[in-house]
Amino acid sequence: MAKKIKKLGQDDPQRIIHSLKVGLALTLVSLFYYIQPLYDRIGENSIWAVIIVILVFEFSVGATLGKGLNRMLATLSAGALGVGVHHLATLSSEKGEPIVLGFFVAMIGYRVDKVLQMAHQRVTTIILGSIIAIVICICIRPVWIGEELQNLIANNIEKLGNFLQGFGSEFFKIPEDRQPLSDIAFIQGYKSLLTSKNNEETMTLNEFGRKIQEPSTKICSESGKALRELASAVKKMNQPTSVNAHIENSKTAIENLKFMLDTYHLEDADLQEIMPSAEVALTLIDVVPCIVKIADAVQELASLAHFKTPATRVSP
């Protein structure tokens, strides 16, 4: 258990802090039970303060604030409605009072003073529980949902950039030339004769791959760098500086790739063999416009949120 808690704290420290904040809030509202003057004034209704903390305390400030205010407003509305229904029942005749009470499912059998006392205690405990939860959530290491969304978007963009940078080198990885076969046994030559057709076809796929490898890997590398810089800009709230250069390099690589695809001779090629590489190349051509849209969105966000310009580094 200690190792799991340690790992959880290392992976997401905010969850450990959130647990401690919830524990502190529950401890404070539990004092209504253990401090005699408070218990004498509120009584058993103090359990509602504990229940309210459990219900309204959320991970982010906005969710806690919304739940707490909604709960307090609902309690006040319900209390006012209950008191109004009870007052209406008391104005009815002796035969009409149980009918009114039964119809509204109101507090049957209580005297007016006890109803008011119970309503006051419940409203007080619910409001106190909500206020304690809201104050602790705001004052102790608050978590704003906007910050969580910002980090989530930045991490997703960074993961996409890492994927593109690694995809080019992995997909267009050309195997090293095989060593010549040994002639110590005639069976080796016979096996190579039987498998020569597969080797020739494989070499013809490698020829197409070598032709489009450089511009394709260039697109992956430059696109990945652009996405990683955009992710860093969103996370650190800095103006992206070299994204346009990476995008222009990607566009230049796209033009080179299109030229190679247009000038490649397909007469003697096996379309089934070159189709996977060609499909990947066409997909990469469509990827760059999407990255341009992401860059435009980040630039607009940087302008609206007034991202700061990073300090210029001067080499020694």
Domain tally for the chain? 2
CA distance 229 to 245: 11
Identify which of 227, 215, 249 has the alpha carbon closest to the alpha carbon of residue 293: 227
76 with 158, same domain?
no
Question: Residues 130-137: what's their mean pLDDT?
Answer: 89
Residues 158 and 294 in one domain: yes
Q: Is the pLDDT of residue 19 over 80?
A: yes
Does 196 score more than 60 pLDDT? Answer: no
- The answer to whether residues 28 and 86 belong to one domain is yes
The answer as to whether 168 is a domain residue is yes
Single out the residue in 139, 173, 192 at which a domain terminates. Answer: 139
Rounded percentage of the chain residues whose pLDDT exceeds 70: 79
Give the chain's length.
316
**What distance in Å separates the CA atoms of residue 222 and residue 262, rounded to the nearest whole number?**
23
Are 68 and 132 a contacting pair, CB within 8 Å?
Answer: no
Tell whether 315 is covered by a domain. no
Give the model's confidence band at 276: pLDDT under 50 very low, under 70 low, under 90 confident, else very high. confident
Mean pLDDT confidence for 47-60: 87
Q: Which of 69-78, 180-189, 229-238 has the lowest mean pLDDT?
A: 180-189
Q: How confident is the model at residue 42, as a pLDDT? A: 73
Question: Is a pLDDT exceeding 70 seen at residue 38?
Answer: yes
Q: Are residues 288 and 227 in the same domain?
A: yes
Residue-level pLDDT at 63: 85
User: Do 70 and 27 fall within a single domain?
Assistant: yes
Q: What whole-number distance in Å separates Cα of residue 148 and Cα of residue 139?
A: 18
Q: Label residue 179 by pLDDT band (50, 70, 90).
A: very low
The answer to whether residues 151 and 286 belong to one domain is yes
Range of 6's domain?
Answer: 2-139
Specify whether the CB–CB gap between 229 and 246 falls below 8 A: yes
Indicate if 107 and 180 belong to the same structural domain.
no
